[in-house]
Amino acid sequence: MMKLLSTSSALVLSFILFFSHSIQAGQLSQYNAAKVQRAIQLQQQDKMKEAIGVLADLSPSLEYDKAYIQRMLGVFYWQSGNSNSAVSYLSKAVSSKQLADEQAWVTQRMLADLLLTEQRFSDALPHYYQLTKTLPEKQSIGDLWFRISQTHYQLSQWNKVLSALNKHERVAIYKKQSEKSQSLVLKLGAQLQLKQWKSAIPTLNSLIVLEPNKATWWQQLTSIQLRLNQPKNALDTLILAQRQGIELSQSELKLLAQLYAQRGIPEKAAETLSRLEGAKGDIDLLTMQASYWQSAKEWDKAIVTWSKAATLDSRFYWQVAQLQIQEGRHQQGLKTLDKVKDYKKTEDIALAKVRAYYKLNQIDSALLYAKRANDFIPSNEAKGWIKYLSQLRKTVNNSV
């Protein structure tokens, strides 16, 4: 809205110049010209009420004089903050068809901008479209198409927003980066409303180039890439966002970890999860981290992380023990197995102890747990161990 007002202010200055030019050219009758000159002097002294009073008291008989004074009253009323009266007088001046060429164009532009400022969008549009048909030399048609796109946007007419922006972009000369950003923001809004996901990607890329530190653009780009089933691109986007210095939210960090895992980079997935708030005390986050470290074959880190999870839920001592035995830490593994309270794993625990005792060359203990495992749930593995360990013990005893 501030942008609209600043543009209208520029038009006010144009009007004042037109007023002076018209008086000098002698287009007004002598009496009315003198009154207009007096009103301009009062306006320049910030005496708006007096200036309006001078013009409001006039009863011009000539149609041109009437239209000219109506236009001038419209400008003065706008300057004094009376938008309704400003719109009323400017509408009369435009409808009269008495104003010529650039005077008529600038007056209608002022009216259109005021209507837009007052959120009378449907009333503003016909004026903007009319203005595109006859363009004075010093005026910018690119700015007009941008206003038209803004107006259609307010009316939720998304296809017309994009049509107007296409015309705007063909002729626009951006003096400031913010001007191009505003255009792209409108385009993106319309594309998202129309669910034109693929078209929105280059728009977002352009916004990121212009405003790389704005987290919203990175977030929306990632969201669209996921919607289009482009996880690789979504991962690249999040990585680039981090490098740019964008602080990822907790949900985005979780997403980043998942995408790393999908890409086959579990160590990055685990590292990313470790940066989450509560990562050291949340059972779900700990088990996810441990699983990723295990997938990455980072056995020491997996053992440490599973151990943290086990302090919160004893079920996870099973994973700790398995890795300890796998890594040759048999004594530690045996102690950890004693902490497993999951009775559904009774047979598995017994067989794990068989392997640990066997590696420690404690054949009698290994055979004891092999028989216990078979007593719990008879299995080929348990029977195999019993047969093998019994023969091994007999061989050892015979050799003594």
Separation of alpha carbons 28 and 31, rounded Å: 8
| Domain assignment of residue 15, yes or no | yes
Separation of alpha carbons 314 and 320, rounded Å: 10
Separation of alpha carbons 248 and 238, rounded Å: 8
| Domain assignment of residue 112, yes or no | yes
Overall number of domains in the chain: 2
pLDDT of residue 397: 76
Phi and psi at 198, nearest 5°, equal -65, -40
Residues ≥6 apart with Cβ < 8 Å to 329: none
The pTM of the whole model exceeds 0.85: no
CA angle 43, 46, 48 (to 5 degrees): 60
**Containing domain of residue 361, as a range?**
342-400
| Domain assignment of residue 292, yes or no | no
Can you give the chain as a three-state secondary structure string?
Answer: CHHHHHHHHHHHHHHHHHHHHHHHCCCCCHHHHHHHHHHHHHHHCCCHHHHHHHHHCCCCCCHHHHHHHHHHHHHHHHHCCCHHHHHHHHHHHHHHCCCCHHHHHHHHHHHHHHHHHCCCHHHHHHHHHHHHHCCCCCCCHHHHHHHHHHHHHHCCCHHHHHHHHHHHHHHCCCCCHHHHHHHHHHHHHHHHHCCCHHHHHHHHHHHHHHCCCCHHHHHHHHHHHHHCCCHHHHHHHHHHHHHHCCCCCHHHHHHHHHHHHHCCCHHHHHHHHCCCCCCCCCHHHHHHHHHHHHHCCCHHHHHHHHHHHHHHCHHHHHHHHHHHHHCCCHHHHHHHHCCCCCHHHHHHHHHHHHHHHHHCCCHHHHHHHHHHHHHHCCCHHHHHHHHHHHHHHHHHHHHC
Q: How many CB atoms lie within 10 A of CB 225?
A: 21
Provide the b/e sequence for 84-94 (b: ≥16 CB within 10 Å).
ebbbebbbbbb
* CA atoms 164, 169, 171, 174: torsion sign: positive
**135, 116 contact by CB (below 8 A):** no
**Six-digit token string for 53:** 């009073």
| Domain assignment of residue 159, yes or no | no
pLDDT of residue 113: 92
**Six-digit token string for 331:** 């004594």
**287, 309 contact by CB (below 8 A):** yes
Task: Tokens 């086959």: give the residue.
Answer: 264
Q: What CATH code is carried by the domain that includes residue 61? A: 1.25.40.10
**Six-digit token string for 343:** 């009775």
Predicted confidence pLDDT, tens digits, the chain (400 residues): 334 434 445 455 445 545 544 554 447 888 998 999 999 999 889 899 999 999 999 988 899 999 999 999 999 999 888 989 999 999 999 999 888 778 889 899 999 999 999 999 999 999 999 999 988 877 778 889 999 999 999 999 999 999 999 999 988 887 788 889 999 999 999 999 999 999 999 999 999 999 999 999 999 999 999 999 999 999 999 999 999 999 999 999 999 999 999 999 999 999 999 999 989 899 999 999 999 999 999 999 999 999 999 999 999 999 999 999 999 999 999 999 999 987 788 899 999 999 999 999 999 999 999 999 999 899 999 999 999 999 998 887 776 5
Residue finishing a domain among 87, 112, 139: 139
| Domain assignment of residue 29, yes or no | yes
Query: In 3D, which of 49, 18, 23 has the Cα closest to residue 35?
Result: 23
**86, 55 contact by CB (below 8 A):** no
Residue finishing a domain among 119, 139, 159: 139
Residue finishing a domain among 139, 162, 192: 139
| Domain assignment of residue 127, yes or no | yes
* CA atoms 213, 217, 222, 228: torsion sign: negative
For residue 326, CA distances in Å to 227, 319, 322, 366 come to 41, 11, 6, 16
**Six-digit token string for 100:** 């010529």
pLDDT of residue 179: 87
Length of the chain: 400
| Domain assignment of residue 184, yes or no | no
| Domain assignment of residue 299, yes or no | no
pLDDT of residue 7: 46
